[in-house]
Amino acid sequence: MKANEIDTQGKQSLPPQADPQRRALLAGLAGFGGLAAAGLGLPAWAQQPAAAANGTRIILVGTKGGPRVGGERSNPCTALLIDGVPYVIDCGQGVARQLVQAGISLRDLRYVFLTHMHSDHNLEYGGLLYSAWATGLKDKVAVYGPPPLEEMTQAFFEYMKFDIDTRIGDEGKPDPRQLVETHTYDRDGVILQNAQVKVSAARNIHPPIHHSYGLRFETRDRSVVVSGDTNYSEAIVKLASGADVLVHEAIYVPGVDAMLKRVPNAATLREHLLASHTTTEDVGRVAAEAEVKKLVLTHLVPGDDPGITDEMWLEGVRKHYKGEVVVGKDLMVL
């Protein structure tokens, strides 16, 4: 399969809204793809001004780094709505539910990107595909990720073969295995270009994983870079040069030290975390050197410690970066 393809996917339809008292707010949020399913309240940080339906919006689907489940934040995922079409980046546990919470119909899924193959980024990859199929997916989904994307996809469908074959015969569903197109990328460069967006990849620093990447999305109205999991990386600085928004992971070292007092493999885990992630100070360096217009912190490590305030996350960043900074929260719209 070709890594670069031309696709003119149509706009996403908005989900029906059952609550008439919210219609005015939801109409203003139509540009976010209908970011509020009927009966679901919008967090305060998601209540953004009205925007054009054909613009580019960022949704922080899950903002906690790591595979542990619990706390107020969900596991990693970021989504871009580009002309109403969702582009989902990483698939941590709970991604399908979070996308529904954001008002994105799973049957509108068209593009999925995996930055690397750690479990907190791919654990619900197969589950997301399945959930979209169960919701009524009929159109093809293009998936982009590093090795072993193809083997992992086949393994998931083999794992679910009995259920899938049963439902095809019993419920008349299309075969989901024919709806998924995998595109493996293993080097820097453009991995997708269509009428809406050009997506470029750059390998970052996330040992011991060699194939770990940051992604840049260039649309007609915005340039958005998602760092992926990485230590301070000159490749990410270059990738993010002049970007409108840099969505970058962050690690708060004092919080990590407090967390490690509760785990048995503390010394080994600390070594991995500091080698594979970016301190708040270095995130500020990346943003300043890249001269980005806005910095958004996500994949927060630790992301389940309520004692770490927004100001604590920002303190290190502000030593180097003087621009606008946002501490990400689940379902935040930017």
Q: What Cα–Cα distance (Å) separates residue 320 from each residue in 69, 223, 248? A: 32, 22, 15
How many CB atoms sit inside 10 A of residue 49's CB?
A: 7
Contacts of 201 (CB under 8 A, 6+ apart): 185, 187, 188, 189, 191, 213, 214, 215, 216
Whether pLDDT at 6 is above 80: no
Q: Rounded distance, CA 112 to CA 148, Å?
A: 15
Q: Rounded distance, CA 56 to CA 312, Å?
A: 30
pLDDT class of 53 with cuts at 50, 70, 90:
low
How many CB atoms sit inside 10 A of residue 149's CB?
A: 21
- Mean pLDDT of the chain, nearest integer: 87
What mean pLDDT is predicted for residues 120-147? Answer: 97
Q: Rounded distance, CA 128 to CA 146, Å?
A: 18
pLDDT on residue 38: 35
Whether pLDDT at 45 is above 50: no
Packing angle of the helix pair 161-171, 149-159 (nearest 10 deg): 60
Q: What is the pLDDT of residues 246-301, one digit of tens each?
A: 999 999 999 998 888 877 777 788 899 999 999 999 999 999 999 999 999 999 99
Radius of gyration of the chain from Cα atoms?
19
Per the structure block, which two tokens stand in for 124?
């619900």
Q: What is the pLDDT of residues 75-121, one digit of tens each?
A: 999 999 999 999 999 999 999 999 999 999 999 999 999 999 999 99
What mean pLDDT is predicted for residues 219-242? Answer: 98
Spell out the SS3 assignment of the chain. Answer: CCCCCCCCCCCCCCCCCCCHHHHHHHHHCHHHCCCCCCCCCCCHHHCCCCCCCCCEEEEEEECECCCCCCCCCCCCEEEEEECCEEEEECCCCCHHHHHHHCCCCHHHCCEEECCCCCHHHHCCHHHHHHHHHHHCCCCCEEEEECCCHHHHHHHHHHHCHHHHHHHHHHHCCCCHHHCEEEEECCCCEEEEECCCCEEEEEECCECCECCCEEEEEECCCCEEEECCCCCCCHHHHHHCCCCCEEEEEEECHHHHHHHHCCCCCHHHHHHHHHHHCCEHHHHHHHHHHHCCCEEEEEEEECCCCCCCCHHHHHHHHCCCCCCEEEECCCCEEC
